[in-house]
Amino acid sequence: MTRDGERLIELINELGSRVTHVVSDMVPPAAQVHLLNAQRELITALMLIYENRVTAPPTGRARSRTSAPGSVRRRSPRRVGKIPIE
């Protein structure tokens, strides 16, 4: 993971801990569990989006120029099912 990715994780964790602190005073404990689970899912989604943007190959004309004539592009396999979050 790049240094920018690590900084992004630190920022998201800091924001999450601040929100948790504020929410803990107003929200009942049972609801806090649900909010923490939603927070984890949101952080996971944001990190997947970030990693996809950073590691994705360039698209558009530049990519088509670099591929050999007559080459066949293969699609990556689709994900099936949910991603387990602990």
CA angle 32, 30, 86 (to 5 degrees): 65
pTM > 0.85: yes or no:
no
Q: Which of 57, 45, 58 is nearest to 8 (CA)?
A: 45
Task: Find out whether 44 and 83 touch, Cβ atoms under 8 Å.
Answer: yes
pLDDT reported for residue 68: 56
Crossing angle of the two packed helices 3-26 and 29-55, in degrees rounded to 10: 160
Question: What would the pLDDT profile of 29-83 be if each residue is shown by its tens digit?
Answer: 888 888 888 888 988 888 888 888 888 676 665 544 455 555 566 666 676 677 7
Task: Find out whether 9 and 47 touch, Cβ atoms under 8 Å.
Answer: yes
Is the pLDDT at 2 greater than 80, yes or no? no
